[in-house]
Amino acid sequence: MNKNIDDIENLIQLEHLRDSAPPTNGGGLGLFANLVKVLGSSTKTNDKLEALVNYFALADNKDKVWVIALFSGRKPKRAVNTTQLITWCIEVTDLPGWLFGESYHTVGDLAETIALLLPETISSEQQHESKPLYFYIEKFKQIEKQDESVKRKFIIESWEQMDQNERFVFNKLITGAFRIGVSQKMMVNALAKFTSLEASVIAHRISGNWDPSTTTFGELLNENPAITDYSKPYPFYLAYALDEEPANLGDPDNWQVEWKWDGIRGQVIKRNNQLFVWSRGEELMTEKFPEYSCLKDLLPDGTVLDGEIIPSIDKKPLPFALLQTRIGRKNVTKKNLQETPITFFAYDLLEYNYEDWRNKPLSERRKQLEAIIRPLTTPTIILSPVISFSDWNELAELRQTSRENGAEGFMIKRKSSLYQVGRKTGDWWKWKIDPLVIDCVMIYAEKGSGRRSNLYTAYTFAVKDGEKLIPFTRAYSGLTDKEFAEVDSFVKRNSLEKFGPVRTVKPELVFEIAFEGIAASNRHKSGVALRFPRINRWRKDKKPDEINTLEDLKKMLEVYGTKPQS
Amino acid sequence: MALIEFTDKGLCCPQGKFYIDPWKPVDKALITHAHSDHARWGSKSYLCHTYSKPILQLRLGDNPYQTVEWNENISINGVKVSFHPAGHVIGSSQIRVEYNGEVWVVSGDYKVVDDGISGQFEPVPCNTFITESTFGLPIYKWKLPEQINKDIQNWILKNQEEGRTSVIIAYSLGKAQRVLKAIAEVTQNIFVHGAIYNIHATLMQAGWNLPAVKRVTNETKKEELAGSVVVAPPSADGSSWMKRFTPYSVGVCSGWMQVRGNARRRNVDAGFAMSDHADWAGLLQAVKATGADKVFVTHGFQAQFSRFLNENGIEAAEVKTEYGNDEEEGPTALTAAEE
C-alpha cells in the first residue's frame, strides 16, 4: 500500500541527512557529540526525536548499542577517576588549582569545565577524523588496570585529537551519567521509528540486565530474541497526579483504591528458580535486600510482581529515611535487618506461570495476586490492601488519615485497566495529600549545577528559636527561573561571609517550604529531618521576624512525625 | 591623595574635580560609554567621545555634553585627560588621566578584538590600570568574530530552509549593530524591536552606515515576517511580543552562552558565545600591554582575576563598583529587562 512510498521517502530523507550531516565528523564520537549537543540545546521534543532517529540511521551499530545503554543509565568502565582527570587538565593548561576550582563552580559540570579549559588543538569547524564511540569505551576497559602513566598518555592524546564538543562527551563518558534532557521514553520512540518493533516491546528489551559490550544491536532489537534473559523486568506503568475532583471519575465501583506508599517502586521476579529485585530506576537491587531471598522458595516460578519496597514492622510502614540508610550501605548488618526489615507491599501481578498478564484487566490480576500472596505467612511480603469506600466523600475523609497510615495519599486505579508502559493518562491516578508547610528565612546560598550553574540556587533555611536562627533544611527547587535570578542577585549583593562555595546571606528573604514528612533526627542541629523539602513560594509579603519557630517544627514532629527506631 | 579615588558616587579624580562613570549625580561626569550602568542620569555636565553623544542624548536627554576625539588632549583643572578606543561598543573609550607625571587609565568595558564597528582597542601605557573582569575566568575563550558571524548566518539559513523566523536576542547598543552586519550578508529581510530601532535610527542620523531594517509594529503583517530575521533585546525574550513570529527559533548572542547550563536555563534554541567584553586571554593581554604596576579590578570575576594577577607578579586589588547591573554584565541580566 503506502509502504513503498514511505520507503522512498525515508530513503530520500536518509540521503538528505547524509548530505547535511556536519562535515566535521564522519561518524564516531563526533557524530555522538553532535547528537548530545542537539539533545542538550533543543527545546522541542520533535527536534530531539528527529536528532535521535538521524543518529540511529547514521551511526555504527556498536555505537548505537552504547548510546542506548548510556541513555538508559548504564555506564562504561571507569578507567580514571576525577582527581586524575583534573590533575591532567591542570597540567595541560598550566593553571593554578584554585582557578580550576573557581571555573568548575561557575560551569557546574566537571566534564564541561575541562572541555572549556583545554587549549584548542582542533577547532569545531575543522575537518577531522573521529574514532567510534565504542573504541573509547573498549579502551577504558583495557587501561583500567594499567599504570597511571598509560592512562595519562591515553587521555591527553585523546584530548589532542578532539574538538571541544567531542572533549565534552569524552569527559562525560569518563565522569559518569549523561543527563541531557532525553527521556527513556523518547529514545524508545526513536528506536521504534527506526526499527519495526512496537515501542512497548523496545522498552521491555532495553530494560534489565544486558551488557552493552557483548550485546549486538541485532540481539537487542531483532524481532525474535534468541537468548532468554530471566532477569528482565517489565517497564513500569506510572500514574498521573489527579488534577480534578475524584467525583469526576464516576462510579466508585469501577475503581480500586490503594494507599500510595512512600517507598521504592519495585518489581520482584521469580524465574528459572532465581529471584531478581528491580527498582523503578532499573537498578538491580536483589543483594540490597537479603530479606527477600526467602521469596525465591515462596513464589511460584514464572512470577513477576509490582509493588513497593518499604521498611515495615507489623505491616506498618517506617519512615522513608530509614530505607535510605539501608540503600546507602555496602553491607547490610544484622542490626539493620532487625531495625529496618524491608517488606514488599505487592499490588500488581505482571507475569504468572511465565505468561505475560499485562493485558488482563486489573480486577483479574488482583484476584490472582491475592491467591498467590494470601497463603504466605512471611512478614517479608504482604498485599497492599484495597481500600473499601462507598462514595468519593468518604474517600476524601479517609485521605486525611494518610499520614497516620504511613502513606502519602491514594492510588486510584480503574478496575478494567490493563498494565500499560510508562506514564499514561486515564486509568491510573495518584491522589496525594497536601504537603506540610513552614515559613522560614534563607541564611546560606550555594551555586547550583547544570542548567543552574553560576547561579546561587541551593539554599539553606532557618526557623527562629528566640533570637537565634536554627538551620533546618536545604532546598533547591520550586522557584521560577526569574525568581532564582532575583534571589541570585540578592545573594550577590547581600553576602556576609564566604566559606568555600557557600555564602552566608543576610537573613531577609522569607520562603514557604513544603515537605512530605518529618522525622526526628539527631544528625541535624534542629533535631528534625524533612522528607522531600522544596520551596513552595516566596513570601515577599512576610518579614523575617514573622517566620515559624523551632517550637512549631517540634509540634509538627509530634503530630505527623515518625520517630526512628532506637 | 590618590589620582583616582573610589567613592560612593563612583570613580573620582579629586585633583581634576571630576568623576568617571559615576553612579550618582555629580557636577562633572566623564563617560566611557553609553551603556546605562556607566552613563547615568542626573549629572550637571558630561564629557564623552563624539560617537557616544547621540546615544547619550537619546538615553539621558538634553544635558550639557562636551565631546572629544580619541587621543585628543584636554586639561581639566590642571589634570591631563584623553580618550582612547576601548573596542566595546560604538564610542566606547578608555579614559587616561595624568597629573604630575603619574598616569591612570580607566578601561570602562572593553574587548581587544576588532569587531569592525567599535574601534580597535588601544593599549595605553600607565602606572595604574582600572580594568573590568566580566569574563575573568579561563573558561571564557571567544571564537573569532568571523567564525561567530558564520555560525549565526548558518543558523539563519537553516531556519529559512525550515520555514522559521530567526529571532536573535542581542543587546540594543553594541551587539545589535554587530549582528546586523552579519545578518545583512545573508538576508535583506531584517526586522528589529523598537528599542533597537531607536538606537539604530540615532546612529544612522549621526552618519553611521548600518544595514536597512524595519521596525516591528502592530501593523507588521505575518506574511512579511515569514522567513525574516528579527533582532530583539533580552527583555523581549519570552514575552508575548514574540508570539507574532511563530513559527520561530530563538538564538541568543551573549558571552554567557559559552556555558551549556546558561543556554539551557534560557531555554533557547541556539546560543552564540559572542561578547563585547574581553575574554580571559584578552583581559590578560590588555593588562600586560599597559605595563601598569598596579591594577584595580572592577565588576565581574574580580576576586579571581585579581588573585591570578597577584600570583603572576602584577599587584592587583578588587574594587566594588555599581557597574555590571545591566546590559550584558551579570548572568542575572539575562533575565532582567534591559531598557
Lowest mean pLDDT among A134-143, A185-194, B161-170, B228-237: A185-194
- B41 & B91 share domain: yes
- B54 & B135 share domain: yes
> Is A279 or B70 the better-scoring residue by pLDDT?
B70
Last residue of a domain, one of B229, B248, B272: B272
B261 interface with A at CB cutoff 8 Å? yes
The overall average pLDDT reported for chain A is: 86
B149 interface with A at CB cutoff 8 Å? no
> Which residue type occupies A201?
V
Find cell 515537605 and name the residue. Answer: A515
Last residue of a domain, one of B253, B272, B291: B272
Band of pLDDT at residue A452, cut at 50, 70 and 90: low
Q: CA A525, A527, A529, A533 torsion: positive or negative?
A: negative
Q: Do A103 and B262 touch (CB under 8 A)?
A: no
Lowest mean pLDDT among B29-43, B182-196, B319-333: B319-333
- Residues on chain A touching B323 (C-beta within 8 angstroms): none
Instruction: Residue B39: give the domain boundaries.
Output: 5-139+276-334
The per-residue DSSP string of A69-118 comes to HHHTT------S-HHHHHHHHHHHHT--HHHHHHHHHHH--HHHHHHHHS
Asked, for residue B285, whether it belongs to a domain, the answer is yes
Asked, for residue B339, whether it belongs to a domain, the answer is no
Residue A299 clears pLDDT 80, i.e. is over it:
yes
What is the model's pLDDT at position A88?
96
- Residues on chain A touching B37 (C-beta within 8 angstroms): none
The per-residue DSSP string of B284-310 comes to HHHHHHHT-SEEEEEEESHHHHHHHHH
CATH number, position B182: 3.40.50.10890
Among residues A62, A260, A270, A432, the one annotated as catalytic is A260
- B169 & B132 share domain: no
Task: Look up residue B26 and give its three cell numbers.
Answer: 555629580
CATH number, position B12: 3.60.15.10
- Residues on chain A touching B141 (C-beta within 8 angstroms): 116, 120
In this prediction the ipTM stands at: 0.92
CA separation for the pair A512, B231 (Å, rounded)? 39
Q: Work out the average pLDDT over A64-81.
A: 87
Looking at B72-169, which runs of residues are DSSP E strands?
A: 74-76, 79-85, 93-99, 102-106, 128-133, 165-169
Give kind and range of the element (H or E) at residue B5. strand B5-7
Query: Searching chain B, which residue's CA lies closest to the CA of residue A119?
Result: B141
Please state whether A476 falls in left (phi above 0), alpha (psi between -120 and 50) or beta. alpha
Size of interface A-B (CB pairs under 8 A): 88
Find cell 540511529 and name the residue. Answer: A56
Residue A9 clears pLDDT 90, i.e. is over it:
no
Lowest mean pLDDT among A18-32, A302-316, B204-218: A18-32
pLDDT digits 0-9 by tens, A465-474: 988 999 999 9
Asked, for residue B314, whether it belongs to a domain, the answer is yes
Select from B185, B257, B231, B201 the least CA-distant residue to B55. Answer: B201
The per-residue DSSP string of B215-243 comes to E--TT--HHHHTT-EEEE-GGGTTSGGGG
A455 interface with B at CB cutoff 8 Å? yes
Band of pLDDT at residue B332, cut at 50, 70 and 90: very low
- B15 & B76 share domain: yes
Number of domains present in the structure of chain B = 2
Minimum-distance CB partner of B261 among A95, A98, A451:
A451
Residue A388 clears pLDDT 80, i.e. is over it:
yes
**Which chain B residues in 59-118 lie under 8 Å from chain A, judged by CB atoms?**
none
CA separation for the pair A56, A193 (Å, rounded)? 10
> What 8-state DSSP symbol labels residue A178?
-
Residue A6 clears pLDDT 70, i.e. is over it:
no
CA separation for the pair A95, B139 (Å, rounded)? 11
CA separation for the pair A47, A38 (Å, rounded)? 8
In this structure, the strands spanning B65-68 and B270-272 are unpaired
CA separation for the pair A459, A58 (Å, rounded)? 44
Select from A222, A287, A220 the least CA-distant residue to A74. Answer: A220
Active site residue A260: yes
- B176 & B296 share domain: no
Select from B36, B321, B21, B53 the least CA-distant residue to B171. Answer: B36
Structural domains of chain A in order of their starting residue, each with its CATH number: 11-75+181-221 (no CATH), 82-175 (no CATH), 237-432 (3.30.470.30), 436-560 (2.40.50.140)
Q: Work out the average pLDDT over B310-319.
A: 94
Q: Percent of chain B, pLDDT > 70?
A: 96
Q: Work out the average pLDDT over B283-312.
A: 95
**Phi, psi values for residue A506, rounded to 5°:** -50, 125
Q: How far is CA A118 from the centre of its chain?
A: 31
Please state whether A130 falls in left (phi above 0), alpha (psi between -120 and 50) or beta. beta
A95 interface with B at CB cutoff 8 Å? yes
Neighbours of B169 (CB within 10 A): 29
Minimum-distance CB partner of A454 among B147, B259, B307:
B259
Given a contact cutoff of 8 angstroms between Cβ atoms, the answer to whether B72 and B190 are in contact is: no
